[in-house]
Chains A and B, each alone.
Chain A
Amino acid sequence: MEALGNLLFGFTIALTPYNLMVAASGVFLGIIIGVLPGLGGTSGVAILLPMTMVMPATSGIILLASIYWGALFGGAITSILFNIPGEPWSVATCFDGYPMAKQGRAGEALASAFVPGFFASLFGILLFTFFAPPLAELALKFGPPEYLAVLLLAFSTFAGLGGGPLEKTLVSMFAGFLLGTVGLDIVTGEPRLTFGTIDLLAGFSFVTVCIGLFGLGEIMVSAEESLQFRGVQATIRLREVWRVVRSLAEHLRTFVMGTLLGFWVGVMPGTGATPASFMSYGLAKQSSRHPHKFGTGVPEGVMATETAAHAAGIGALLPLVTLGIPGSPTAAVMLAGLFVWGLQPGPRLFVEQPDFVWGLIASMYIGNMIALLMCLLLVPFFTAILRIPYAILGPLIVLFSAIGAYAVKNMMLDIWLLLIFGVVGYVFKKLAYPVAPLVVALVLGDMTEEALRQSLIMSDGSFTIFLTRPIAAALIGVALFIFLLPMLRPLLPQAVGGSRAAPLSGR
């Protein structure tokens, strides 16, 4: 109950008119930053960091955190409307969000992103409020073998996602792994597949590849088909929001799973929300009654991804405040903020700077609420964008995509890569190769390789390290089970289908 008192104290700080104004402007800026492709929350927070030096520390962190919340909400908008993931963790939002938008259900798709996202944030903030120190303690127990286990879990849930024939999924996935190996190898410090060039030492950035494959590829296909968004609904009715809220109860398992996964993976330093969003989507699909419909525009797909992403956004701040380790790249910039304001993160921060910590926590509730309201009010405006003739909209998207790709590393090469991956995306689409496995492999392949090799260095090359550490062994067991589940299911149709006591099989 001590936390409750502290939280109330925090609200007295976060609810001052100045801090409220700071939070509202942060959220608004964040939404805009999230909407622009390529320019994610990380850049937004980084751009405004020097400005916060003239503010009190608490207002500074409220501003930066609010930008983060705004960007989390805004990132979904581009994924749904244009098939361009604004952030790595909204890639999976495209899978169902964009088909929904094409069917004229953009409003519904946006609501399915915002409302569950908000509730996931709320759930995450509650966990943060009451359990931050023990959760930080638990996060420390996760070393390289446990990271590998979590990543394997992500791959296993995502294995069946390609949808198409297995060989095409494999081709796509291995192309992703191959792209992921380009650059400086973190374990040996040697360049790989750079062909002696300096620009390739930086490797392929996820943002460029993704915007190219999804965004540009889609634009080319759309241009060819002279796409028209059918019957775009101009407003979002309160009834629609309410329907999404009620459907949360229906998809309670997806929601809870997504939130918990997202929150925990967010808390694990260094991974961020991306694996969580894929895992959540994959799990939602596997446990769904109609998995084949995923990817054609089901709201649960959007919901699963967004709950995980939002919960992870909250989770990422936990190790930042309690351990001084950022849980995500955006949190890393905020860590810089702590130093700039002269604060020392760690357990003592709660004791020495209660107004900062509790002001931040209280502002999370407020910031997310503002973000939800703002987004819902802006939905008509966003959907109205889709009524612009595609002949005008298409080139504009290309322009913003190019700016976004350039902004990642400030390199001209990325614009060329964007164009190349646009063509690759188009060809993939024409030949019915799934794009998602490539992206997943590119994002997670690097992390997975790192975790595997770190673990093997720790154990002098012995794989028993994955069996002797209980958390890692348990998670790998679960990953194997999920991976084999689709193959096992046809083998025992009676056993699974006939048993009422097997709710997880979910036929």
Chain B
Amino acid sequence: MRSRGPLLLWVILTAVVLALAGASVLAERPAEAAWQPSKPVEFVIQTSPGGGSDVYARFWIGIIDKYKLSPVPVVPVNMPGGAGAVALAHLHSKKGDPHFISPTLNSVITTPLLQKIPVMYLSEDLTPIVKMMMDPFLLVVNPEQFKSVEQFLAACRQQSLTAAGTGSKQEDEIQIFAMQNAFKCQPFRYVPHKGGGDVAKAVAGKHADFNVNQPSEMLPHYPQRLIPILSFQKERPKEFPEATTHWEKGINSQWAALLDLETGLHQMRGVIGAPDMPKDAVTWYEDMFRKVWETPEWQEFMKKGAMQPVFMRSEEYRKFLVRFENNHVKVMRDVIGWKLRDDLRPR
């Protein structure tokens, strides 16, 4: 009998506390966002640690952690291989699960057009979430070899020049091929390399005559060993006013559009999710990545790398991707004549 009293009291107190806690949870719920991740989010990365997309994913995760933007951890999961094929197939298999996202780079556009994997068009087969920036292409040469674009064009019409680029049948080669046609150069020799840093090194060390690269990859060697002589956009980049735009060179406007940053090709960094991601989950990610985009860290990073600070939400990004994909099909299949996957859905 003696021990009963305290026990009873404890039970009652516990019940009261639990009830209060429950009530407060119930009361708070409607005020919160409609959807929140309920388990750790898997950030599926197409490269090994240190690869292009890995750098971006880990950078964003660092920002998310620092500003506590997510109630659950965002975990980087590297699934390298097949120029993104392995990671894309994995993401595709998580249909409807909003806890799987992936950084985008251009090989997620080119690889599914070439390899028979479950994903074909990103805009249709996965869920576009946000676009975080555009990384422009520059035509980069060694100043000891060429001083200006005029010199370069004269040389390329005379003889076959050697180009260095990342990977095979990927963005760099496409841009280089398009350039060859637009400027009526002799066929380039295209030497594929593993990554952007190697590509920059090839030209800086004079093992290749030029590359088309992103500013951040050229900057370590600028201006002693690498200079931009042509920029593929409407106006000269304010960081490199010396780089003439391709529009100034008076080429066929259809070619010019395909080479252009806005209407044609560039490196894009963004985020995509598993297929059929629920609408409210997409909204949650949009808001979170918008906050990431606004942080001084990301703004500073884009400024340092001379990137174009665009931000697109899901719907806008999807529309952009449709045009981007169509441009790729056009250049890859119709202009260059590569054999795309034989089950390609026409659009």
Q: Is the CB of B304 within 8 A of A342?
A: yes
Would you give the 0/1 interface string for A116-143, flagging 1 where the beta carbon is closer than 8 Å to chain B?
0000000000000000000000001111
Q: In this assembly, does B61 line the interface, its C-beta being within 8 Å of a C-beta of chain A? A: yes
Q: Is the CB of A189 within 8 A of B114?
A: yes
Q: In this assembly, does B22 line the interface, its C-beta being within 8 Å of a C-beta of chain A? A: no
How many Å lie between the Cα of A67 and that of B81 in the bound state?
A: 26
Q: In this assembly, does A333 line the interface, its C-beta being within 8 Å of a C-beta of chain B? A: yes
Give the distance to chain B from A411, nearest Cβ to Cβ, in Å. 7
Give the distance to chain A from B66, nearest Cβ to Cβ, in Å. 5
Q: Is the CB of A345 within 8 A of B62?
A: no
Q: In this assembly, does B76 line the interface, its C-beta being within 8 Å of a C-beta of chain A? A: yes
Q: Is the CB of B81 within 8 A of A324?
A: no
How many Å lie between the Cα of A49 and that of B219 in the bound state?
A: 23
* Residues of chain A within 8 A of B305, CB atoms compared: 339
Q: In this assembly, does A56 line the interface, its C-beta being within 8 Å of a C-beta of chain B? A: no
- Which listed residue (A53, A188, A330, A410) contacts B168, Cβ 8 A? A188
Q: Is the CB of A142 within 8 A of B115?
A: no
User: Are A409 and B86 also in contact (CB < 8 A) when A46-B58, A323-B221, A457-B190 are?
Assistant: yes
Give the distance to chain A from B49, nearest Cβ to Cβ, in Å. 4
Q: Is the CB of B83 within 8 A of A329?
A: no
Q: In this assembly, does B271 line the interface, its C-beta being within 8 Å of a C-beta of chain A? A: no
Would you give the 0/1 interface string for B209-220, flagging 1 where the beta carbon is closer than 8 Å to chain A?
000000011011
Identify which of A18-26, A84-92, A107-115, A199-207 touches chain B: A199-207
Q: Is the CB of B224 within 8 A of A201?
A: no
B162 nearest CB neighbor, chain A only: A458
A413 nearest CB neighbor, chain B only: B86
Would you give the 0/1 interface string for B185-201, flagging 1 where the beta carbon is closer than 8 Å to chain A?
00001111110011011
- Which listed residue (B58, B77, B221) contacts A336, Cβ 8 A? B58
Q: Is the CB of B81 within 8 A of A269?
A: no
Give the distance to chain A from B215, nearest Cβ to Cβ, in Å. 11
Give the distance to chain A from B2, nearest Cβ to Cβ, in Å. 50
* Residues of chain A within 8 A of B71, CB atoms compared: none
Q: Is the CB of B193 within 8 A of A54?
A: no
Enumerate A360-412 residues with CB–CB distance to B below 8 Å.
409-411
Q: Is the CB of B82 within 8 A of A189?
A: no
Q: Is the CB of A336 within 8 A of B189?
A: no
How many Å lie between the Cα of A457 and that of B192 in the bound state?
A: 9
Q: In this assembly, does B241 line the interface, its C-beta being within 8 Å of a C-beta of chain A? A: no
Q: Is the CB of A46 within 8 A of B194?
A: no
How many Å lie between the Cα of A339 and that of B305 in the bound state?
A: 9
Q: Is the CB of A339 within 8 A of B190?
A: no
Give the distance to chain B from A59, nearest Cβ to Cβ, in Å. 15
Q: Is the CB of A336 within 8 A of B50?
A: yes
How many Å lie between the Cα of A201 and that of B83 in the bound state?
A: 8
Q: Is the CB of A46 within 8 A of B49?
A: yes
How many Å lie between the Cα of A308 and that of B66 in the bound state?
A: 38
Best-buried of B115, B170, B194 by chain A (most CB within 10 Å)? B115
Identify which of A163-171, A178-186, A237-245, A493-501 touches chain B: A178-186
Give the distance to chain A from B25, nearest Cβ to Cβ, in Å. 31
Q: In this assembly, does B328 line the interface, its C-beta being within 8 Å of a C-beta of chain A? A: no
- Which listed residue (B58, B63, B167) contacts A189, Cβ 8 A? B167
Q: Is the CB of B201 within 8 A of A269?
A: yes
Enumerate B67-94 residues with CB–CB distance to A below 8 Å.
76-83, 85-86, 89
- Which listed residue (B58, B198, B216, B225) contacts A50, Cβ 8 A? B58
* Residues of chain A within 8 A of B59, CB atoms compared: 50, 336, 339-340
Give the distance to chain A from B201, nearest Cβ to Cβ, in Å. 5
* Residues of chain B within 8 A of A411, CB atoms compared: 79, 86
Q: Is the CB of B170 within 8 A of A189?
A: yes
Q: Is the CB of B191 within 8 A of A270?
A: no
User: Which 3 pairs, one residue from A and one from B, show the smallest C-beta to C-beta distance?
Assistant: A202-B81, A332-B50, A201-B82
